[in-house]
Chain A
Amino acid sequence: MSELAVAAAPEPRLGAIALCAVGIAFGEGSAAVEAVRGIDFRVEAGEFVSILGPSGCGKSSVIGAIAGFTPVTAGQVLVDDQPIRSPGPDRGVVFQQHTLFPWKNVLENVEFGLKMRGVSRPERRRTASEILEQVGLGDFLRHYPGQLSGGMQQRVSLARVLVNRPRVLLMDEPFCSLDAQTRLEMQQLLLQLWHELHMTVVFVSHDVDEVLYLSDRVLVSSHRPGRIRTSLTVDLPRPRGSDVLTSPEFVRLKREAMEVLGVARGN
């Protein structure tokens, strides 16, 4: 198979994540809200791991902590054995609602990370247009984010992060506000890019089908304060087509995930 050749590439894999007894709380005193408590997990370099949980279980706080803009109140977050203290371009984030700069066009948005690194203008023009071509937006370089559909905005968000070649891609319910068709296209695009770029992905969602379809491993989280209840290994072959969604193994994993979530549906 062709991916064997790629896997044999002699570069050391980066992007291993470890959370050690992480707790995150917001506010002070009696108004304090505990988002997550005692979170412990490891993500191997290049692994695709999802956190599945109900809305408001602190999933986004975990993403924020790995990204470095949400301070942890207990424990430690390590990426490649380095403690995380601040945000950095080695950990890209894609949010549910796009955070593209409205005053920059598509090309300028994607160029941003390169500009911050001091890459020359022609060089970053070239790299950014290349990656936009890859996400299918080669014809929209001069459009402003406000002129694009939700799916296209998320494509630009992905491109803007990937142009930095991050070790870790963090995704916080990125496809939740998209329609079913666009969502499926985006999921396939994401798998494709992950396969080609060899980064670690931490994906947060409340959609069981979505996380099982995408991930190597699914961490199921409880209600607030969020804790990891269980870890499910998704042993479905890749590349995954839509037929995976109806395979017995998929159905079995789905039932197990839903039991842990406490969703009793049709027994």
Chain B
Amino acid sequence: MRSLVLDSSVSLPAPKRAVRTRRPLRSKRALRSLVVGALSLAGWLLLWQAASIWELDLFFRFENIPAPTEVARAAAELLVDPKLGSHVFSSLERIFIGYCIAAALAIGVGLAIGRFRLASEALLPPLEVLRPIPAVAWIPLAILLFASAEQSMVFITFIGAFFPILLNTVHGVEGIDPRLVNASLTLGAGPLDVFREVIVPGALPSIVTGLSIGMGTSWFSLVTAEMISGQFGIGYYTWEAYTLQKYPNIVLGMVGIGILGMGSSSLIKWCGRRCMPWFKPEANAR
């Protein structure tokens, strides 16, 4: 084997390392936004409290709206209620099953539609018709389609998550730079390699966006489904509170949905960032 060592005239001084963001500055900024956020939240709570106490009637009627203190009291009661776990667990379980099926199917179908003309021609028109139908409108049909209420609720969460994931996946595949595909071909990649090594990772940022949006839509679909049928679940809890006129519990249910939805969306985003250490949206925007 020939020696391939370069002579010294060609070797370079080590180029500069990529600039890192300075830590102290970043944590200072994070602290600042945390403080401002907390103050804002406290301010709104205070306004709400005042409006409820004085039973304000400025277009919005606050006379029947529970004050934050009442909600807090209800929260304290709920936290020791043995049924709390069942409510949360039922909702999480439905989300988990419906969302996972939606993600698997939507990513698979989306990759096919984005990559193959036949798939796009055959699948896109029916999907475009189904897409504008809101998850709530599926509820009667879901009850007819499935034997148990549980299955129809899972189906509704599936519907909620499916379309955002699908559309973002298609969009991601279509946005891939064709030069990257050419480059992989000149390096000896076959059709399957192109798919695995270029198409899937290239579409990943868009897929993660879809997964994150889909998680949100999945939650609000689930809550509507639970309001109509079911015995447990955070949506059911909220609706039950309304029919029993336990007004603080309505607010509590709403806050619960907000927290669970936000938590699961952040989880998706966090996983996305872990999977794509190379992807820096801020750097690209520069």
A residues with CB within 8 A of B: 6, 9, 67-69, 86-89, 91-93, 95, 97, 99, 101-105, 112-113, 116-117, 130-131, 134, 136, 139-140, 143-144, 146-149, 151-152, 160-161, 164, 185, 188-189, 192, 196-197
A93–chain B nearest beta-carbon distance, Å = 5
List 14 additional contacts besides A103-B201, A161-B187; criterion CB under 8 Å.
Answer: A69-B182, A87-B185, A99-B182, A99-B183, A101-B184, A102-B279, A103-B276, A103-B278, A112-B184, A134-B4, A146-B278, A146-B283, A164-B187, A196-B2
The count of chain B contact residues (Cβ–Cβ below 8 Å) is: 38
B21–chain A nearest beta-carbon distance, Å = 13
Report if B11 contacts A (CB, 8 A).
yes
Q: Please determine whether B187 and A89 come into contact, CB atoms closer than 8 angstroms.
A: yes
CA distance A146 to B276 in the complex (A): 13
Residues of chain B lying within 8 A (CB to CB) of residue A93? 182-183, 186
Residues of chain B lying within 8 A (CB to CB) of residue A185? 10, 12
Choose from A95, A105, A136, A192 the contact partner of B12 (Cβ within 8 Å).
A136
Smallest CB-CB separation from A105: which chain B residue?
B278
Q: Which of B14, B18, B198, B278 has the most CB of A within 10 A?
A: B278
Q: Please determine whether B201 and A101 come into contact, CB atoms closer than 8 angstroms.
A: yes
Residues of chain B lying within 8 A (CB to CB) of residue A112? 184, 187, 189, 197
A-B pair number, CB within 8 angstroms: 103
Choose from A101, A130, A136 the contact partner of B197 (Cβ within 8 Å).
A101
Report if B97 contacts A (CB, 8 A).
no
Choose from A86, A103, A196 the contact partner of B4 (Cβ within 8 Å).
A196
Q: A101-B180, A103-B204 are in contact. Are A134 and B188 (CB under 8 A)?
A: no
A26–chain B nearest beta-carbon distance, Å = 14
Interface string of B113-149 (1 = CB under 8 A from A): 0000000000000000000000000000000000000
Residues of chain B lying within 8 A (CB to CB) of residue A130? 4
CA distance A110 to B174 in the complex (A): 25
Q: A101-B201, A146-B280, A152-B15 are in contact. Are A136 and B6 (CB under 8 A)?
A: yes
Report if B7 contacts A (CB, 8 A).
yes
Q: Please determine whether B188 and A164 come into contact, CB atoms closer than 8 angstroms.
A: yes
Choose from A9, A101, A134, A143 the contact partner of B6 (Cβ within 8 Å).
A134
CA distance A201 to B31 in the complex (A): 56
Residues of chain B lying within 8 A (CB to CB) of residue A67? 182, 186
CA distance A167 to B67 in the complex (A): 78
Query: Which residues between 271 and 286 of chain B lie within 8 Å of chain A, taking CB atoms?
Result: 276-280, 283-284
Residues of chain A lying within 8 A (CB to CB) of residue B5? 134
Chain B contact residues, majority secondary structure: loop
Q: Please determine whether B15 and A149 come into contact, CB atoms closer than 8 angstroms.
A: yes
CA distance A69 to B204 in the complex (A): 25
Choose from A99, A116, A151, A196 the contact partner of B180 (Cβ within 8 Å).
A99
Q: A103-B278, A112-B187 are in contact. Are A139 and B14 (CB under 8 A)?
A: yes
11 contacts between A and B (CB under 8 A): A67-B182, A69-B182, A99-B179, A99-B182, A102-B278, A102-B279, A116-B190, A117-B188, A130-B4, A185-B10, A188-B10
Report if B64 contacts A (CB, 8 A).
no
Q: Please determine whether B186 and A69 come into contact, CB atoms closer than 8 angstroms.
A: yes
Residues of chain B lying within 8 A (CB to CB) of residue A104? 201, 278
Query: Which residues between 1 and 50 of chain B lie within 8 Å of chain A, taking CB atoms?
Result: 2, 4-7, 9-12, 14-16, 18
Q: A95-B179, A99-B179, A105-B278 are in contact. Are A116 and B189 (CB under 8 A)?
A: yes
CA distance A69 to B182 in the complex (A): 7
Report if B93 contacts A (CB, 8 A).
no
Report if B202 contacts A (CB, 8 A).
yes
Interface string of B180-220 (1 = CB under 8 A from A): 10111111111001000110011010000000000000000
Residues of chain B lying within 8 A (CB to CB) of residue A69? 182, 185-186
Choose from A9, A102, A192 the contact partner of B7 (Cβ within 8 Å).
A192
A10–chain B nearest beta-carbon distance, Å = 13
CA distance A91 to B15 in the complex (A): 29
CA distance A140 to B15 in the complex (A): 9
Smallest CB-CB separation from A99: which chain B residue?
B183
Smallest CB-CB separation from A160: which chain B residue?
B187
Q: A103-B201, A146-B283 are in contact. Are A116 and B2 (CB under 8 A)?
A: no
Q: Please determine whether A87 and B202 come into contact, CB atoms closer than 8 angstroms.
A: no
Residues of chain B lying within 8 A (CB to CB) of residue A95? 179, 183
A135–chain B nearest beta-carbon distance, Å = 8
Residues of chain B lying within 8 A (CB to CB) of residue A136? 6, 10-12
Q: Please determine whether B18 and A113 come into contact, CB atoms closer than 8 angstroms.
A: no
CA distance A134 to B2 in the complex (A): 13
Residues of chain A lying within 8 A (CB to CB) of residue B276? 103
